[in-house]
Amino acid sequence: MRSIYFRKKQFVPFFLFEAVDIILSMKNKDRYFVELYIGNLLRKIKIDKLYFEGQTKYQKVFCFSNEYLGKTLFLDEAIQSAQIDEYVYHESLVHPALLIHPSPKEVLVIGGGEGATIREVLRHSSIQNVTMVDIDKELVEICQKYLPEWSDGAFADKRTDLIFADAGEFVGSTEKKFDLVISDLTEPVEKGSSVFLFTKEFYEKIEGILNHDGLFVLQAGSADPLYNQFFVSCAKTLEAVFSIVRPYWTFISSFGLPWGFVLASNKIDPIDIRQGQIADRLKHRRIQNLKFYHPGLHSALFALPLYLEKALKNAEVLTEDKPFIWEI
């Protein structure tokens, strides 16, 4: 799960957001979802069919379909996932890390309520178990009901263990070791549940539950020229814990933004693997019908533009005393 959380109230107050929503709906005799996109930029999305609108214990949930985006999930009024390109996000998050590992068997996913992350993990025939830990049971149930295409049966797979718990508490108490830990959490916002899950202290706990050749990968938010602070801060923080840290990115059209990920390890460098090795592992693990990731794309994902290279040099380490919090 992820959120575009760099919206600023001082640019477009909430009462204006509501007013615009009403005006657009009346004018067109249709209902639109109006997203406060970036700063003073609004984006309106026509609601062709509404599936769910409500509030869980942790967040607002809005699920509807749109002719262009397909089924779309919004949390706390920010887009999370859209049918048109969710595979771009999830294949980018999962496969670079799993394919550079020679034989991944045990995987932990923290967050990922829609189930698409574990769907991609389970494509690998070497996987014996994937443990998914998510704090919001209601959201997972909503996604299973209205977005079953995302999980595609992954929750029913006998290799899946689904645990509803706080990820910080789980990581701090589990005795299991993993070949890969995937962080698919929403970004840290004021009073949010994930604020301290992007800190040096938490990443040290992650390192402690990895096998000797284990890997950690996380979604790290926007990688655009103005709002890349969270992305580069995550990379800088991981450098204080792991010996090999490689940030990478791709463009997510439904987000309207380039999106960042970071891969970390103490043993395996993702840029060392050859295309032929990736192709062999895809074949050996019987992975077919990917829509985005392929051997030739792998190294390209890790090629960053100059503005991100510069931002990485000026990034700061995140700690529990000084975490990163997006203002909303």
Active site residues: 184
Residues in the chain, total: 328
Task: List, in sequence order, every beta strand (DSSP E) within 28-105.
Answer: 32-38, 41-46, 49-55, 60-66, 70-75, 78-82
Strand bridging mode 106-111 / 49-55: unpaired
Residue 86's nearest CA partner among 259, 294, 252 is 252
Integer-rounded Cα Rg, in Å, for the chain is 19
Cβ pair 170, 110 in contact under 8 A: yes
Do the bridges between strand 129-134 and strand 106-111 make them parallel or antiparallel, or are there none, so unpaired? parallel
Distance from chain centroid for Cα 95: 13
Between the CA of residue 190 and those of 187, 193, 215, 220, what are the distances in Å?
A: 10, 9, 29, 17
CA-CA distance, 267 to 301, in Å (whole number)? 20
